[in-house]
Structure 1
Amino acid sequence: MGPILLAFFLAALAWVLVAGAALRERHPVVFWYLTGYPLTVVRIVRTWRRVAQLNDFTVSRGPTRGLLGELVVTGDALKPIAPRISFPKATRTGASVEVRLHPGQTPAVFISAADALAHAWRVHAVRVTSPERGLVRLVATAGDPLKRPSLAAAPAAHLSALVGILESGGAWVMNLRKIPHWLIVGATQSGKSTLLARLVAQLAPQNVALVGVDCKGGMELGLFNPRLSALTTCRREAVAVLGALVTNLQDRMRVCRDAGVRSIWDLPAKERPVPVVVIVDELAELYLTDGTREAKAQAEQCSTYLLRIAQLGAALGVHLVVAGQRVGSDLGPGVTALRAQLSGRICHRVNDPGTAEMTLGDLNKDAVVVAQAITADEKGTAVCTGAEGGWDRARSHLTTPEEARRTAAKYSDLTPVLRDVHRALLLAATPEVES
């Protein structure tokens, strides 16, 4: 009976392992709740006191100085007391623990120990936040959700685009109503163009006018031309179109003033002008010049128009999405002023630390360090700001150029006509046609 029972036991164990592997592959959330979460709870509870002591989370009510004969001895007090923690709460991608701080403690020591906590609990990462004074929340992520980005469900909203997944497992949404203007940076092959393609594909079915500014001859944004209300391919055309949009802003201000409202969203739906999203691909092409007087004048005009749109566009339904391989003050004095108006920030892998600092440094220094750690193998991965402040690592959903092209063609009949913008573009293109 002994060998037979052993054989049955080994066979049962093999089936359990096979079933567990299949469950983990097909239903990772269910596998996490049934297997990963209980094991993680045990590790957190068993290791907390030791981890707290090793990472200086503990305090002691005893004195740190004492008398030894006629000598004063200084050292660590005995009987260290670890901060009190809540029972680990399960999430779809990990677990969260709340820590009640001792008087005088700050979240800084927990932030610096995040990697040590992840190692002790055998999880992918631990994020540290402080929702209120005296309280720290430790959010452990069991695995890296960015390796297999699936689209989490998110409510459909006007001027909102579901572009990928956050490291926390939530939906990565670019909501232009909440964050009206965005800055996207990334080196070649970092995922910047893929993100723009996803954004256009998500906005195409909506009641919105899309205006493309692509001074690289339209190579990138030209794929979406059927759904664009206007596409500029050189700086001269960009000056004309951006200038027409600024004039359009003034018309919208006049409508709001006459109606006694402060935003187009307060107007009746029938009187509300169509929202406009201006997508600028490669900002440097607008600012860098060959030194001629005409080129400098065009660059200054573009800078002024973009800044004007960023300052006034949020309430008037004109939004900016500005992308580039690098962003720095050396492009011109207007870049820093424009950056300050673009509250939405997305930083992919970049080639120079200055671009990451320019993109995220004024919001969060920790985010700069994380962005600089993105490797060439992590295509589509970025550090992004959230609607409620803070930042996250995220990865965009893969949208191929062909998919974006088909989507643009499918919804081409929804393309609004911006008559003043279209007229300005035709006038700017006329000299080029005649030559």
Structure 2
Amino acid sequence: MSASTLLVLAVILTALLLIARVKAPAVYWTLVGLPAALYRVLSAWRSTMEACELIVDPPWWKVFAHKMASPGGADVAKPRIPHIHGIRPTTTGLRLRLRLAAGLTPEDVVKSAERLRHAWAVHSVHVREIKPGVVDIRLTGFDVLARVRMPRRLVRGPLAVSVALREDGLPFVRDYQEIPHALTLGANKSGKSMYQRCLIKGLAPLDVAVVGIDCKRGVEQSAYAPRLTALAITSAEAEGLLDALVVEMEERFDLLCLHQNIAPGTPLEDITSDIWGLPKKLRPIPIVVLIDEIAELFLIVSRADAVRRDHMVTQLVRLAQLARAVGIHLEVCGQRFGSELGKGATALRAQLSGRVVHRCNDKQTAEMGLGDINDLAVVAATAIAADRAGTAIAGDSSGGWSRIRTPKVKIGEVAATCREFAHLTPDIPTLAAYRPQSPAPVPVPPAAAPVAASGTP
């Protein structure tokens, strides 16, 4: 093979790799990025750990032993560093399992994550504690949120839904058994509706009842009617639906009391068990309540509206405080959610332990959702660019947070999924009055025949 042929092949291969770097970053990472990252990590492991201050001075007895073995002082005991106990390449990065040296904590590695990112020339570095003394370092080779591709193996469970992709390449799972209630905030065009679509699409195949409250006349949730057990599209309907949900909650508590031989008159606050301890044949189906715009339930125009608002807020707070045990979960969405909405807003927000904040119009909104979780999460939420719709900061009451992004899903695709699994929609007698009717196709008038232009020759 001539030198010119080799040159042409090299140019073609380089061009293909450059195209893959933009169009197929996972392929480029597998072919080029991963070998280079492995070389950078392994070739200078000790020097990198020392430069990032992830070292521990050797114990005095080891220093003394080295001095006794080499009186001239030529041989000095080296500082201890974390040891690699496992390497696992992935399509988006690299995972390292580390055994920390005695004296180091996972927080030390977290503080050095930014230094490690630059030392290894990767997009991001995430640290997670596995058990005492062992941490996972997940390296991400490229921006996985630029073009969201959900993993093929998604986390599944009785009430677990993979909604979005995290910055470290793992799916963001909304597990209602772990976090029963959540609050989602975001400005217009921030991706809040897309998050709700992905949530409904993931809930549709599960054995769960989905209840919608969409006071914008149902423009967001009416398309999902085949899979909705109940739907309220006005404030008046929302009031009645919330009352029905409270009645359903009380009936489920009575069921728990009867099964446990507790008198039905026992105060609800004294019952600490939940429906998951019941036999499967007696266990009521879980309910997920999706509230599209919470502010519509708080806004008032007249004194009558104020009475209705106070009643609805009281019912919402009761559901948020008590309903987890009987399998009723709240998913609240809104543009803002603070004390300015009125009485009860702060009490309700305190019960919504899961938080997802998209791009906001002001810093105060980010603080409403994430200020009581982590200050760094607030800063990250305010830094979301306007052209990154669907990007959000997800946090929980433990103080942990991560950057996520939902894939683009069309409303028609979600509606088709709801029609496919319409047979799974349960009938709950207390909510039967609010069972939505599947929207009938809108007749399209026939196109008018073109009228010939008249004129004199």
Q: Structure 2 unaligned runs (5+)?
A: 59-76, 262-272, 437-457
User: How far 1:50 moved relative to its partner?
Assistant: 5.8
Is structure 2 residue 282 aligned with structure 1 residue 271? yes
Query: Quick one: structure 1 residues 42 and 196, their matched pair in 2 at CA, closer, same or farther if it must change by over 3 Å?
Result: same
1-side partners of 2:98 and 2:156: how far apart? 35
1:154 aligns with 2:151: no
Alignment of 1:207-222 (within 5 A): 207-222=207-222
Structure 1 stretch 363-372 or stretch 312-321: which is displaced more? 363-372
Q: Which moved more, 1:395-404 or 1:410-419?
A: 410-419
- Percentage of pairs with the same residue: 38
1:189 and 2:175 are equivalent in the alignment: no
Instruction: Extract unaligned runs of 5+ from structure 1.
Output: 62-78, 427-435
| CA drift at 1:86 | 2.5
Give the paired residue count: 408
| 1:102 Cα deviation from its structure 2 partner | 6.8
Deviations 1:154-191 (A, max 9, x none): 25433332223222222222222332222111111111
- Residue equivalent to 1:308: 318
- CA separation in 1, counterparts of 2:279 and 2:54? 56
SS in 1 for 2:344: helix
| Cα distance in 2 for residues equivalent to 1:37 and 1:151 | 20
- RMSD value, Cα: 3.4
User: 362-371 or 129-138: which moved more?
Assistant: 129-138
- C-alpha contact (below 8 Å) 2:374/2:399 kept by paired residues: no
Tell me how far 1:94 sits from its aligned partner.
Answer: 1.8
CA–CA distance in 2 between the matches of 1:416 and 1:283?
25
Give SS of 1:220's match: coil
Higher mean displacement: 371-380 or 248-257 = 371-380
Q: Is 2:361 aligned against 1:351?
A: yes
1:171 maps to amino acid: P
Q: 1:9 aligns with which of 6, 10, 19?
A: 6
1:371, CA displacement in angstroms?
2.0
Task: Provide the rounded CA distance (Å) in 2 between the counterparts of 1:425 and 1:33.
Answer: 50
After TM superposition, give the deviation of residue 414 of structure 1 in Å.
3.4
Aligned to 1:252: 252
Distance 1:206 1:90, change over 3 A: closer
Q: Secondary structure at the match of 2:408?
A: coil
* Superposition deviation, residue 216 in structure 1: 2.1
Distance 1:83 1:358, change over 3 A: farther
Partner AA of 1:349 in structure 2:
R
Structure 2 residue 401 is matched with structure 1 residue 391: yes
Aligned: 1:117 with 2:116: yes
- Cα distance, 1:408 vs structure 2: 2.6
CA distance in 1, matches of 2:427, 2:131: 49
The one-letter amino acid paired with 1:306 is L
Aligned to 1:86: 84
**Helix, strand or coil: the match of 1:226?**
helix
**Equivalent residue number for residue 202 of structure 1:** 202
- Does 2:300 align with 1:289? yes
1:36-435 equivalences under 5 Å are: 36-46=33-43, 57=54, 83-86=81-84, 89-92=87-90, 93-97=92-96, 110-131=109-130, 137-152=136-151, 153-260=153-260, 262-290=273-301, 292-385=302-395, 390-423=400-433
Partner of 2:443: none
> Are the equivalent residues in 2 in contact too, given 1:161–1:199 (CA < 8 A)?
yes
Q: Is the 8 A contact 1:128 1:138 kept in 2?
A: yes
Which digits, 9 at most, give the CA deviation of each residue in 1:171-228, with x for residues without a partner? 2222223322221111111111011112112222333222111122222122222322
Q: Please give the per-residue CA displacement for 1:99-139, whole angstroms capped at 9, x wherever unaligned.
A: 66677666556545433432332211122344456666543
* Residues 1:266 and 1:82: Cα distance change in structure 2 (over 3 Å): closer
1:219-271 deviation line (CA, Å, top 9, x unaligned):
21222223222221222221211111111111001111111193222333333
TM-score by length of 2: 0.78
Distance 1:59 1:388, change over 3 A: closer
Amino acid at match of 2:287: V
Aligned partners of 1:424 and 1:90: how far apart in 2?
51
